Structure 1
Amino acid sequence: MDFREYQRRARETDQTPDTDGDGLIVPLLGMAGEVGTLLADYKKRLRDRDTYRLFKESIAEELGDILWYVANLATKLDLDLDDIAAFNLRKTRERWLHVGEKQGRLPFYLLFDEQFPPEEQLPRKFSVKFSQEKQGSGATVVLTWDGQTIGNRLTDNAYVDDGYRFHDVFHLSYAALLGWSPVTRKLMQRKRKSNPKVDEVEDGGRAGVTEEGISAYVFSYAKDHSFLRNVGALDYELLRTIKRLTASFEVNIRSPADWERAILAGYQVWRKMRESEGGTVHLDLVNRTIAYSSE
């Protein structure tokens, strides 16, 4: 039986068919009640252990009741349960299914600048040195690539030393693991000027501001979570917000799992960079890696 057929047949046993008032509150309260019963059954299992032999049967019955209420609510809101299930699978696969990672490899995808001239492409493998210089009670950070200083001298721009002066590590991580970073393109003078519209939209000011905003937003979250030390997964609401912020840019095809991987990898390098007060970031856009060395 598929979801559409189940939804159609469940509608035939609906005793409150109106689409507002009691018609909506009944399935909502019904779901809440059945979840409570599920918890009560689990409590009995914990208490009675192997002597509670009806656990699976009870759980199956309660799950069936919950499914009926879900289908009933969907019907009254003119939603298709089959569409809901398909959307949920897409969302959860994007969030959690890291294809190929168990074999030590990541799924292949083309980089966004693949069809552009070499001088407009981000280098496929390169290193950026972060040098810290003490300045009064604070410090500034200078970036060097290929023997040339890139970007501006950075401070924390904060009342306390929180290490944000090293935040370009995050932009480099986005470049390495997502193939996307308008900020890095600007720093390295790799904007795609041969296509004026791409240069304006994807590599322009709005895209750069969005990326800086994401960096600051995630940093605020990270500060409340030990800068992601020993953290293996990020809050889905954080990732969903990032997806919304980037919905109008080319990077919108990257999944929440891609963003999570890039953020966690970036913070792993950033923590080492902050602890050592400098160092070098090594990037490989083909194999999608970012690494740290102290020299």
Structure 2
Amino acid sequence: MTATTPQPTTVTTALAPHDAETYAAWFACLAEPMRVRLLHVVATTPGSISVGELAEVVDVRQPTVSHHLRKLADVGFVTLTKVGTSTHVSINPDCCTGLPHAADAVMGMINARPCCPTDLPTNVTTRPMSETDLGAARGIYEHAIAAGHTPTEMATPQFATLEEIGIPEHRWVAEIDDHIVGWATAAPISTSDTYAGAAETSVYVAEPHRGHGVGKTLLYRQVTEADTAGLWTLQATIAPENRAALALHHKAGFRTVGIRERIAHHHGTLHDTVLLERRPPEGADRPQ
């Protein structure tokens, strides 16, 4: 880090002592490089991984790996589950949002405005959604619900007309070779004029096309059009375990506001959700 000339400071709300203690425990746990390596492997492994497999990946003796995993489990980064004679390790979904949020809170990143990624795939195009797109949009959404990607919804939306989906100027579909592979909308968060410039954005990608930049392209179109149109706040609600969606939104300038515990009813169970928020670049976030 390089030294800089001190700048005038403004008084801000101090970090709560309880939060400071929690974050300090998390950071202390990660002061050991081996735990950082192990956490990274677990977080990037779909589902779970056995302790033996994990030891092979990092090329460290299994007793040493087990010791560090217990430390990670103690602070809630991972969960350990006995499967037969072996122990399987999986990421704690709360860690995926709690840890980044802790870093943001400590560093005062509440006003950060990252730019949208521009490395968009050249084979994906976006255009405004039309009435003829409703069937394809509904099909993509049905699959998302069945796969558990949308815990804030309980059933397939029965939208019969385009007017029932979000704000007219902020409904988009993504296409590859003239086939719809995803869609996005921005819906008002309130009927009150006070919140006329605030909307909740949703992005859905067909299962075979996930991981190929479709969601990135849709979200890029969504946020750039929102900035141009004068929407001063975009919100998104995402399941904590949907790490890909969280990462996608963070890259588009969203920040984690917080975790809402047991708020979404899905398949007979109450789930946590992550609330994210994005503001346009400084100077462009004022109502007209």
TM-score range, shorter chain: under 0.3
The TM-score normalised by the length of structure 2 is 0.25
The TM-score normalised by the length of structure 1 is 0.25
Q: RCO higher in 1 or 2 (8 Å CA, sep ≥ 6)?
A: 1
Instruction: Give the number of the structure whose alpha-carbon radius of gyration is greater.
Output: 1
Q: Which structure features the higher share of strand residues?
A: 2
Q: Which structure features the higher share of helix residues?
A: 1
